[in-house]
Amino acid sequence: MKKTRFINCIVALSIIPLCAGANPSELQVLGWVENAYLPDPGFELKAKLDTGAETSSLDSRVIKKFRKGGKRWVRFAVTDRESGEEFILVRERLRTIGVVQHDGTKQTRPVIEMKICVAGIFVETEVSLIDRSEFNYPLLVGRTALAMFALVDSSETFLGQSRCGEESSQEIDS
């Protein structure tokens, strides 16, 4: 039986398929689950690549919003699920978003900017903070980040050939 592959891409309103201005031939084809790396705090985790979500989200606990120096900040904890080690991070809060869950409940989430690496590509992107402990994947990479470097093959997992931190890693400006 022949296996059919479907690749998701953002389609611009101009009817011409574009991936956030990136040349489609330069985009990597990745699976719907890939290994990712958070350079700060410095651990690897599994990520779901979700073209249905606009903003990326990260499993975070003890999320505390505060003001300092006239700016809005957030302090939160992230846990390396492999080692169990917990890291406390502080980032400037860019905004707060409202999200309607599949069951109809509404959540508000702080959004920060964070560097992530997937398949050897480092991207600075917006990430919402939420308790994802009930989900299999602690990081969800949304279409805004994906459009900078990837096409998603929804029938495959772990297609990324490069690992983060190797010499082949690249950085993409948002």
Q: Which domain holds residue 149?
A: 27-172
CATH number (domain holding residue 162): 2.40.70.10
Note whether residue 7 is domain-resident: no
pLDDT the model gives residue 22: 66
pLDDT the model gives residue 140: 98
- Paired residues of 118 in beta bridges: 36, 121
Note whether residue 131 is domain-resident: yes
Note whether residue 4 is domain-resident: no
Q: Which spans in the chain are helix H?
A: 143-146
pLDDT the model gives residue 117: 96
Note whether residue 149 is domain-resident: yes
Number of domains in the chain: 1
> Mean pLDDT per segment of 10 residues, for the chain of length 174 residues?
43 35 81 96 96 96 96 98 97 94 88 97 96 96 96 97 72 71
pLDDT the model gives residue 162: 86
pLDDT the model gives residue 60: 98
pLDDT the model gives residue 90: 98
Strand order in the sheet with 7-8: 7-8, 150-153, 28-31
Q: According to the 3-state scheme, what is the secondary structure of 13-58?
A: CCCCECECCECHHHCEEEECEEEEEECCCCEEEEEEEECCCCCEEE
